[in-house]
């Protein structure tokens, strides 16, 4: 089986690439051949609708660019994998350019197939092709992919190429903190790997695997939005400090050491089932490298994370930022650090004891 991947993301280290690499590792583990075409690095001019490729030079486009090589590869592969970031509810412009330029692969005539009018193939060996759609997006809900899925369903139906799998990853930007996503993060990446194996072994991707990769990171959508907004604020501040020459670290490194992302992430992972009707406030009095005052307000099954100092919190934790970061990264044991007074707490200590069940991997 020969698999051709049309990679439509302009970001070589983006999340389309991240999930694609896992998928291809699965493909390789089953011994299939694959090739990736990074569309953003290819010279592909837009289709100008002149129909020269239909009437004047049948099968050959008027443009002189890199598309003819891609068409040859499309003709000689069994599975086309379309991997694209979601841009404005659809595929990226790089992918759209490539897709439109596949028009020389069909004849101008019209035929009926599967209850729809379409074009016959110019090259008869195209009958056996399958397609897989892989897409990632920033927003957390899978509904954002609706138009893209419908686009590929129609391409499959009219193009008579089975859509053998649809792998969607909403909230993809969260994968920069993949280690914080715990078991869900692992399951999702393993899902992409399994999908790669399945396409080679069974010729299609199971619904079970499709559902694993698209599962929501959290049911706490408001928390997700809060955390995303915090991330944007930190990024803006970082770029501002970089411009002023006060920050030398790359953003990706700095953000992982930012106590606010850590505390905000804990709030997103708040387990409403474990909390019941708990109402409490938790003050973080942070000293050390990143001093500040932040607090949680737990109410109605939701944990809000805010900056500021409360007058009468239920629990106050006094900690250097480095200590809390080390606990969160698993470099320090929380209970042991407390015994050793690396951080201290006052107020309702039962609340502190319950942290592991209240806040945990999503």
Ligand X SMILES: Cc1cc2nc3c(=O)[nH]c(=O)nc-3n(C[C@H](O)[C@H](O)[C@H](O)COP(=O)(O)O)c2cc1C
- The residue range among 122-130, 138-146, 276-284, 286-294 that interacts with ligand X, by the rule CB under 6 A, is 138-146
| 87 binds ligand X per the rule CB under 6 A | yes
- The residue range among 51-59, 130-138, 146-154, 186-194 that interacts with ligand X, by the rule CB under 6 A, is 130-138
One residue of 9, 156, 316, 321 binding ligand X per CB under 6 A = 9
Query: Shortest CA distance to 84 belongs to which of 98, 74, 104, 70?
Result: 98
- Nearest-approach distance from CB 86 to ligand X, in angstroms: 4
Q: Are 284 and 264 in contact (CB under 8 A)?
A: no
One residue of 95, 136, 164, 166 binding ligand X per CB under 6 A = 136
Q: Find the DSSP H helices in the chain.
A: 15-29, 52-55, 67-75, 93-100, 146-159, 182-201, 207-214, 221-243, 251-256, 259-268, 272-275, 321-328, 334-339, 349-353, 355-358
Query: Shortest CA distance to 59 belongs to which of 6, 102, 111?
Result: 102
- Nearest-approach distance from CB 19 to ligand X, in angstroms: 9
- Nearest-approach distance from CB 192 to ligand X, in angstroms: 13
| 138 binds ligand X per the rule CB under 6 A | yes
Q: Which residue, 86 or 205, is less far from ligand X as judged by CB?
A: 86
The dihedral built from the CA positions of residue 100, 156, 60 and 42, taken in this order, carries a sign that is positive
Q: Are 166 and 195 in contact (CB under 8 A)?
A: no
Contacts of ligand X in 318-347 (CB under 6 A)? none
- The residue range among 44-52, 81-89, 193-201, 223-231 that interacts with ligand X, by the rule CB under 6 A, is 81-89
One residue of 70, 81, 86, 323 binding ligand X per CB under 6 A = 86
> 26: alpha, beta or left, given left = phi > 0 and alpha = psi -120 to 50?
alpha
- The residue range among 11-19, 21-29, 126-134, 262-270 that interacts with ligand X, by the rule CB under 6 A, is 11-19
Label the pairing between strands 292-299 and 302-307.
antiparallel
Q: Which residue, 15 or 224, is less far from ligand X as judged by CB?
A: 15
Print the binding letters for residues 20-59 with ligand X: x by CB under 6 A, - otherwise: ----------------------------------------
The dihedral formed by the CA atoms of 39, 45, 48 and 49, expressed in degrees to the nearest 10: -40
- The residue range among 48-56, 86-94, 114-122, 157-165 that interacts with ligand X, by the rule CB under 6 A, is 86-94
Query: Shortest CA distance to 3 belongs to which of 261, 152, 279, 199?
Result: 199
Q: Which residues bind ligand X (CB under 6 A)?
A: 9, 11, 14-17, 85-89, 136-139, 144, 172-173
């Amino acid at each position: 089986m020969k698999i051709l991947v049309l990679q439509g993301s302009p970001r070589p280290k983006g999340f389309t690439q991240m999930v694609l690499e896992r998928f291809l590792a699965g493909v390789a583990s089953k011994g299939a051949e694959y090739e990736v075409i990074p569309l953003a690095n290819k010279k592909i001019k837009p289709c100008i609708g002149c129909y020269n490729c239909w009437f004047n030079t049948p099968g050959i486009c008027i443009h002189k660019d890199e598309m003819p090589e891609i068409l040859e590869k499309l003709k000689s592969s069994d599975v086309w994998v379309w991997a694209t970031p979601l841009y404005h509810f659809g595929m990226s412009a790089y992918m759209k350019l490539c897709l439109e330029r596949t028009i020389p692969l069909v004849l101008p005539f019209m035929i009926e197939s599967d209850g729809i009018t379409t074009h016959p193939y110019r090259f008869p060996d195209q009958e056996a092709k399958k397609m897989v759609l892989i897409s990632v997006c920033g927003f957390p809900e899978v509904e954002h992919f609706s138009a893209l899925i419908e686009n590929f369903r129609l391409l499959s139906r009219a193009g008579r190429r089975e859509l053998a799998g649809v792998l969607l990853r909403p909230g993809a930007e969260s994968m920069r903190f993949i280690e914080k996503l715990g078991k869900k993060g692992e399951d999702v990446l393993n899902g992409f790997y399994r999908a790669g194996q399945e396409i080679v072994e069974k010729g299609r991707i199971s619904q079970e695997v499709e559902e694993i990769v698209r599962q929501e990171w959290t049911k706490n959508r408001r928390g997700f939005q809060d955390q995303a907004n915090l991330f944007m604020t930190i990024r803006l501040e970082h770029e501002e400090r970089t411009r002023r020459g006060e920050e030398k670290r790359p953003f990706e490194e700095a953000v992982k050491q930012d106590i606010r992302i850590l505390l905000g992430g804990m709030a997103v992972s708040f387990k409403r089932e474990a909390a019941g009707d708990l109402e409490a406030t938790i003050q973080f009095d942070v000293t050390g490298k990143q001093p500040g005052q932040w607090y949680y307000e737990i109410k109605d099954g939701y944990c809000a994370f805010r900056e500021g100092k409360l007058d009468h919190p239920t629990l106050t934790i006094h900690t250097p930022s480095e200590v809390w970061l080390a606990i969160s990264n698993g470099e320090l044991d929380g209970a042991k650090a407390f015994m050793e007074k690396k951080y201290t707490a006052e107020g309702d200590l039962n609340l502190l004891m319950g942290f592991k069940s209240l806040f945990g991997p999503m």
